[in-house]
C-alpha cells in the first residue's frame, strides 16, 4: 500500500509541479484539528485504518479525503488557499485490492482518486477520468486528460505564493502540506 501511495505522489508531482519531501514520522490521527494553537496549518495525514477508527469508512467506503482551506477576506476580495487536509484508506478493504495501477481492482487507482480530492479535484461524470466516483475495472490507473488539465490549471498555470508545508506518512498513515510553496514532506510509518 505504501508503494502505491508513493507512486501516486510521484505522479501528482509530475502533473502539478508540487514537490513532496520526506519528513519525520508522526502518530497524529488524520482526524485531528487541522490547525495548531497559533492558527498554522498542520501537515496533512494520509492514514490507513479501520471503520472502527474512522466511521466514514463504513459501508464499503475504501477511502475518503478532505482538503482544508485557509480563508481571508477584506472589503475588496475573498481568497482561499489549500492549507492542509486528510486522506484515509480502509486497511481491510485496501488489502482486498491488487497492488499497483493496472486494470481491475488496483489500489493505486483509489489512491490517485483520493489524492486528487486532497489537492482540489472533485468528482466528474466521465469514465475516462480517475476522478469519476465509479471504479472502472477496464481502465488502468492514470490521470485522464480532464484530470490532468484540472491539475495543471490549479497548479502549473498559477504563481503559488511561498509558504512552508509538510507531507508525512504517520503511524500507518501519510501527511500532506500547505501547497503554496509547491513543496511537501512525506515520511514512512514506523
Q: Average pLDDT of each block of 10 consecutive residues along the chain (190 residues)?
A: 90 82 73 85 83 89 86 68 84 91 94 92 91 89 92 68 35 35 33
The pLDDT value recorded for residue 99 is 95
The whole-model pTM stands at 0.79
Q: Which residues pair with 78 in a beta bridge?
A: 73
The pLDDT value recorded for residue 103 is 93
**Burial of residue 135 (number of CB atoms within 10 Å: 0-12, 13-18, 19+):** middle
Q: Degrees (nearest 5) of the Cα angle 2, 87, 17? A: 75
In angstroms, rounded to a whole number, what is the distance separating the alpha carbons of residues 112 and 12? 8
Cell of 18: 508540487
Q: Quick check: 144 and 126 in contact, CB under 8 A?
A: yes
Q: Quick check: 84 and 163 in contact, CB under 8 A?
A: no
The pLDDT value recorded for residue 156 is 67
Name residue, grid cell 486528510: 86
In angstroms, rounded to a whole number, what is the distance separating the alpha carbons of residues 23 and 43? 10
Q: Where are the domains of the chain?
A: 2-176
Q: What is the CATH number of domain 2-176?
A: 3.40.390
Amino acid at each position: 500500500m505504501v508503494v502505491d501511495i508513493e507512486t501516486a505522489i510521484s505522479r501528482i508531482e509530475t502533473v502539478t509541479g508540487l514537490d513532496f519531501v520526506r519528513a519525520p514520522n508522526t502518530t497524529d490521527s488524520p482526524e485531528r484539528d487541522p490547525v495548531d494553537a497559533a492558527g498554522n496549518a498542520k501537515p496533512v495525514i494520509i492514514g490507513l485504518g479501520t471503520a472502527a477508527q474512522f466511521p466514514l469508512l463504513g459501508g464499503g467506503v475504501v477511502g475518503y479525503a478532505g482538503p482544508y482551506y485557509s480563508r481571508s477576506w477584506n472589503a475588496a476580495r475573498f481568497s482561499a488557499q489549500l492549507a492542509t487536509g486528510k486522506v484515509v484508506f480502509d486497511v481491510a478493504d485496501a488489502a482486498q485490492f491488487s497492488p499497483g495501477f493496472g486494470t481491475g481492482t488496483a489500489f493505486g487507482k483509489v489512491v490517485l482518486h483520493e489524492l486528487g480530492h486532497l489537492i482540489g479535484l472533485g468528482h466528474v461524470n466521465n469514465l475516462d477520468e480517475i476522478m469519476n466516483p465509479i471504479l472502472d475495472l477496464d481502465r488502468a490507473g492514470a490521470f485522464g486528460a480532464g484530470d490532468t488539465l484540472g491539475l495543471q490549471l490549479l497548479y502549473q498555470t498559477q504563481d503559488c505564493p511561498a509558504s512552508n508545508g509538510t507531507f508525512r506518512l504517520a503511524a500507518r498513515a501519510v501527511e500532506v502540506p500547505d501547497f503554496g510553496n509547491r513543496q511537501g514532506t512525506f515520511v514512512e510509518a514506523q
